[in-house]
Structure 1
């Protein structure tokens, strides 16, 4: 295996030997206190836990689950599972008991690590009786079969086992916008390929800092935080809670950060809550002063040290990218899937073209089939779906290309633009097909709209359903509601003016509900669940279509 393509544990052992005293993981412990772990600390804990797991005498390649919010010991447990010769199965920390039971049963997990959780009593019912549980530091109070101290009493594993490249490393269950999640199987070669090539794109190293806050069980955080830190030697800071997020961000002052569009939008809304958008826009436009204002805004967010800022998991409004550019920060778009370790396309600094994501990552082949579907092939493409060869055959072509399910187009330089999801495209009652995603991106550019879903299957014309931001809700509940209403009417006219006739929205509906992970409207990665939205509001679609108002407010 070439030096350019090393496996995760190989790199971990190199870090352990090369700079054992260098800081690796920084974990907040409450009350403003933090625990700093260097590479030697982490290696010692990993090796003791791996020895304990070996002493369980489980069959090689047994599945071991991790349920917990991001923490230093989430990563330590993951590495220990690998070092012991087993397969890690991460679960989202906010699943229902039913979903927990589904994943644990489907994966046939033999043990479960329980980490930091907010709603463990509700989730605990999903762990079947007799399935051994191990509590990690920061785990909630409860009855567990073993605790982390039990594992740490073991003599650290002396050897440094290196699993085979094609050995299964992890099964990542997709959050899924519909139905039962699928178990994506990734080998050590998949992870090593994506991490080795990915970190070369950014020139990051031991002096860089990351903040881990998106779920580590999701492929993006797993690759951009856990794998990237191992391959570059970066320090990983963890966020303590939603309430302390900005404090955690300022403490870390990350030099590299991955976020979903909603996170970048929330940063913007937080700025606007302290300074009106018009005033900030005016100040940013002033010669000499504008640059200092932009830096001050970024410093207030804890983003002033950022060298690499990425956005992925969903399309990001172009106006939002432009806003950050004016502050002095290039937020680059990333495109990928769980099925290819999130490693597919990325924008490059200085090459930004509105509407285009960017060129393929190194060693990624791309083709657009006759239906317009984007298909990619690389060493990061999964081994398949766990226990589902039929779904695997439907998703990976015979010549190894991953069917993404996204429609798109490439320019002469290989830059990719997405034009919609094949399965999300709907047909109106007039027989015309509409791709909702591009329309949603345009609507989301409004400063007071936080979430959008365009629907229209079987309707004479599409409808736009939207949730207001916190600032928008304040405006709607006060004396400025009339101004907001007029602004939304103007938005609809502007967006429709750029659409083909059959795509134009009939109405814009402001719904009163909040769309969140907790109430089932969003996936854990903050993508809207269209089936939930359609089932919740579907009974009103026809009545809304028949109303005369251009902008409707849900009663």
Structure 2
């Protein structure tokens, strides 16, 4: 009898079914426990637990396509729970674990969630009040201990695996991802199984990914970038996924994984660079790397210590990255490229090409992506990866997706004659000075980030005579450097920068902010992007005073 043809894959769930059958004993997820030990889950073990949890969800008799929330830091059971939600015929709603209790409640209520998985958290007591009492709270294995939580293992033991294979339609809603909100207004982006599949599957082709590749998961799975690059890509390709226990164990966990492909945000790439330069001065390292025989050996040693010696492709996204930082990794032999995308198009838009690096430009459109600029310079993109719309928000959906299917990104850009894209800033971030001149802050901030002492920069200037820059210094870069030397370096950099800017863009001063800008205190999004509106609101009363102080460098 001829072997029955396998059904065509059009979703990550269907891909999982086939992976589970093809190599049930192959390791899929590797979870560190914090005491130096790890636990690994094979594809068969993942499938068994997901099916048992799906059976429990089915027993709750929710209507088809009900919304189930996932509130947890990254861990193996985040992905297992997501699979269970889909197997039960429902829609997953990731919730950032760094939100406040009020924001968690807002997301759960707006999304009409009927249950919530609670996993690995460091702030459970602060978040607990944001969970509606009437919902079932299901604890993942690494979740907090709480009498109100239903233990994962108890539910697994009490339910036989759900044996009916749930098939999804490509146009079904797979997930509702609430944007992390640099503007402070979260929107529920509805992504279909088809859009997530299209974006991830084409990404696998661009990076020539196979089941022999390894991934490290550390950025929030609640964010579209990590969701697509790690979860959906691994389900489609069969990669092994390793998790990070904590920020303190990042390098140790990365060395264990020895990832072959890696996604990071600019701040991560910057901090890793600084960890190297703390041990080897930049000038000495540059000299050694330029030495024909010694350079390649030293470069490989540096990558080995970071856990990146097996990297084939590395990607930076979520915010602009300085070209000099990209080139620093290139000198180490790492193919680090920039990526551009949004939650609204499953993170699928533009990508740098390792052999076609062009300074100042992100890269080329991905396969299947059409892009154009509107009359006022806004980037518009169209592809099968575009969202279905915003949940319960037809007005903003119509504002973002036009009648021709183009997504209005809100980003201003430029496209050269080869098709390379450059982002010049957010339309809503452009401000007007008291002289009536418009200034786009993003290009100025990118130039500031090129300075080795500057870790974060935010250019403001609404109703000021001239813009000013609020900056945070890199503690690693200025260690051992006198405050006078730091101020002299910043003054010289400001003078040089102003010589490259138009008159209305020139900075009156740079202000060194001593307050911490972190995810926990609300200054950064979970993907470490600066929330401009929070910075401006926090220092609003002091901006005018700083701008007319007459000093080029002001220390808060």
Normalising by the smaller structure, the TM-score range is over 0.9
Structure 1: any 5+ residue segments left out of the alignment? Answer: none
TM-superposition CA deviations, 1:42-74 (whole Å, max 9, x none): 111111111111111100011000100000000
State the partner residue of 1:194: 199
Residues 80-159 of structure 1: pairs in structure 2 closer than 5 A:
80-153=84-157, 154-159=159-164
TM-superposition CA deviations, 1:114-173 (whole Å, max 9, x none): 000000011000011211100010101212342111331211111221111111110000
State the partner residue of 1:435: 440
State the partner residue of 1:294: 299
Equivalent residues of 1:173, 1:182 under 8 A apart: yes
**Residue 450 (1) aligns with residue 452 (2):** no
Q: Alpha-carbon deviation of 1:287?
A: 2.3
State the partner residue of 1:535: 537
TM-superposition CA deviations, 1:474-520 (whole Å, max 9, x none): 34xx6x22111111111112221221121111101111111101111
RMSD: 1.3
Which one of the candidate residues 500, 507, 517 is aligned to 1:498?
Answer: 500
**Residue 51 (1) aligns with residue 55 (2):** yes
Which one of the candidate residues 252, 257, 260 is aligned to 1:252?
Answer: 257
Distance between the aligned counterparts of 1:473 and 1:141, measured in 2?
A: 42
| Secondary structure, aligned partner of 2:429 | coil
**Residue 68 (1) aligns with residue 72 (2):** yes
State the partner residue of 1:547: 549
Distance between the aligned counterparts of 2:9 and 2:452, measured in 1?
A: 44
**Residue 32 (1) aligns with residue 25 (2):** no
Distance between the aligned counterparts of 1:419 and 1:113, measured in 2?
A: 39
Distance between the aligned counterparts of 1:303 and 1:509, measured in 2?
A: 36
Deviates more, 1:211-220 or 1:146-155: 146-155
Q: Alpha-carbon deviation of 1:537?
A: 1.0
Equivalent residues of 1:6, 1:196 under 8 A apart: no
Q: Alpha-carbon deviation of 1:5?
A: 6.3
TM-superposition CA deviations, 1:169-204 (whole Å, max 9, x none): 100000101233110001111111111211111111
Aligned length: 550
TM-superposition CA deviations, 1:193-234 (whole Å, max 9, x none): 111211111111111100000000100000000011011110
Q: Using a 3 Å threshold, how does the CA distance of structure 1 residues 23 and 162 change in structure 2: closer, same or farther?
A: same
Which one of the candidate residues 177, 187, 190 is aligned to 1:172?
Answer: 177
| Secondary structure, aligned partner of 1:30 | coil
Q: Alpha-carbon deviation of 1:4?
A: 8.6
Equivalent residues of 1:5, 1:196 under 8 A apart: no
Q: Alpha-carbon deviation of 1:334?
A: 0.3
TM-score, with structure 1 as normaliser: 0.97
Distance between the aligned counterparts of 1:84 and 1:378, measured in 2?
A: 29
| Secondary structure, aligned partner of 1:244 | helix
Q: Alpha-carbon deviation of 1:469?
A: 0.8
Distance between the aligned counterparts of 1:146 and 1:357, measured in 2?
A: 46
Which one of the candidate residues 256, 263, 278 is aligned to 1:273?
Answer: 278
Distance between the aligned counterparts of 1:268 and 1:140, measured in 2?
A: 35
TM-score, with structure 2 as normaliser: 0.97
Equivalent residues of 2:461, 2:467 under 8 A apart: yes
Equivalent residues of 1:22, 1:39 under 8 A apart: yes
State the partner residue of 2:358: 353
State the partner residue of 2:45: 41
TM-superposition CA deviations, 1:58-93 (whole Å, max 9, x none): 000110001000000000000100110001000011
Residues 299-448 of structure 1: pairs in structure 2 closer than 5 A:
299-448=304-453
Distance between the aligned counterparts of 2:185 and 2:546, measured in 1?
A: 32
Distance between the aligned counterparts of 1:38 and 1:393, measured in 2?
A: 44
Distance between the aligned counterparts of 1:422 and 1:180, measured in 2?
A: 16
Equivalent residues of 1:261, 1:312 under 8 A apart: yes
Equivalent residues of 2:9, 2:15 under 8 A apart: no
State the partner residue of 2:3: none
State the partner residue of 1:163: 168
State the partner residue of 1:210: 215
Q: Using a 3 Å threshold, how does the CA distance of structure 1 residues 350 and 3 change in structure 2: closer, same or farther?
A: farther
Distance between the aligned counterparts of 2:506 and 2:9, measured in 1?
A: 49
User: Which portions of structure 1, spanning 4 or more consecutive aligned residues, are displaced by more than 3 angstroms?
Assistant: 2-5, 472-475
Distance between the aligned counterparts of 2:459 and 2:335, measured in 1?
A: 29
Deviates more, 1:260-269 or 1:47-56: 47-56
| Secondary structure, aligned partner of 1:169 | strand
| Secondary structure, aligned partner of 2:130 | coil
| Secondary structure, aligned partner of 1:407 | strand
TM-superposition CA deviations, 1:375-429 (whole Å, max 9, x none): 0001111110000000100111111100000011111221111111100011111
Equivalent residues of 2:31, 2:243 under 8 A apart: yes
Distance between the aligned counterparts of 1:366 and 1:265, measured in 2?
A: 30
Distance between the aligned counterparts of 1:4 and 1:315, measured in 2?
A: 38
Structure 2: any 5+ residue segments left out of the alignment? Answer: 1-5
Q: Using a 3 Å threshold, how does the CA distance of structure 1 residues 310 and 79 change in structure 2: closer, same or farther?
A: same
Distance between the aligned counterparts of 1:5 and 1:164, measured in 2?
A: 11
